[in-house]
């Protein structure tokens, strides 16, 4: 596993808002209706593409700062489950246990000097642990999609996300 930590260079609240704009919430009502209607997979792919303009959707988020402040910790941290069920399906087909790592866990937090950080475990290192080249290939694709998201957010892209592309 390779944890990536990226310095954001802007205030915590500003970056959280930009991240949440680039990675919108899962449209649960829409997908529940698609399931109820037994929509075909092409319809699900189209709906997902519309919900995920930068390939990722937020399935869950929690601001842990208020709870941690009860223990005297002043740092802020917001955790997210970010992913794409249509991409996960391509791995799930080979081994449903990939759901241990899909969606990806991400966090935005501030350090003691007031800097903001984005952190995530490198997808390919998580999915390669299954020992299946089909799953590993999708993990590398997720590295590339994560790199593209970081570029869109004007953040530095860790070399680990692009080094296997050479």
Inform me whether the pLDDT recorded for 5 exceeds 80. Answer: yes
Residue range 9-67, pLDDT digits in tens: 999 999 999 999 999 999 999 999 999 999 999 999 999 999 999 999 999 999 999 99
Residue range 66-94, pLDDT digits in tens: 999 999 999 999 999 999 999 999 999 99
pTM, to two decimals: 0.93
Distance CA 100, CA 94 (A): 14
Q: Which residues contact 90 (CB under 8 A, 6 or more apart)?
A: 134, 138
Inform me whether the pLDDT recorded for 166 exceeds 50. Answer: no
Asked if residue 161 lies in contact with residue 43, where contact means CB atoms within 8 angstroms, the answer is no
pLDDT, position 56: 98
Distance CA 166, CA 78 (A): 34
pLDDT, position 2: 93
Distance CA 22, CA 106 (A): 14
pLDDT, position 164: 76
Residue range 138-164, pLDDT digits in tens: 999 999 999 999 999 999 999 999 987
Residue range 103-145, pLDDT digits in tens: 999 999 999 998 999 999 999 999 999 999 999 999 999 999 9
Q: What is the topology classification, in CATH, of domain 3-21+62-156? A: TATA-Binding Protein (3.30.310)
> In which element (H, E) is residue 15 found?
helix 12-22
């Amino acid at each position: 596993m390779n944890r990536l930590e990226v310095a954001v260079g802007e205030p915590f609240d500003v970056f959280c808002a930009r991240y949440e704009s680039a990675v919108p919430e899962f449209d649960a009502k829409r997908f529940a209706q698609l399931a109820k209607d037994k929509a075909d997979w092409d319809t699900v792919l189209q709906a997902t593409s519309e919900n995920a303009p930068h390939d990722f959707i937020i399935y869950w988020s929690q601001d842990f700062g208020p709870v941690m402040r009860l223990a005297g910790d002043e740092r802020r941290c917001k955790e997210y489950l970010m992913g794409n069920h249509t991409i996960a399906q391509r791995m799930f087909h080979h081994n449903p246990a990939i759901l241990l790592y899909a969606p990806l866990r991400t966090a935005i937090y501030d350090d003691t000097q007031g800097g903001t950080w984005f952190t995530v475990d490198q997808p390919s290192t998580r999915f390669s642990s299954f020992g299946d080249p089909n799953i590993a290939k999708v993990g590398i694709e997720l590295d590339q999609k994560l790199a593209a998201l970081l570029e869109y957010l004007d953040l530095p892209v860790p070399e680990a996300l692009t080094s296997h592309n050479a």
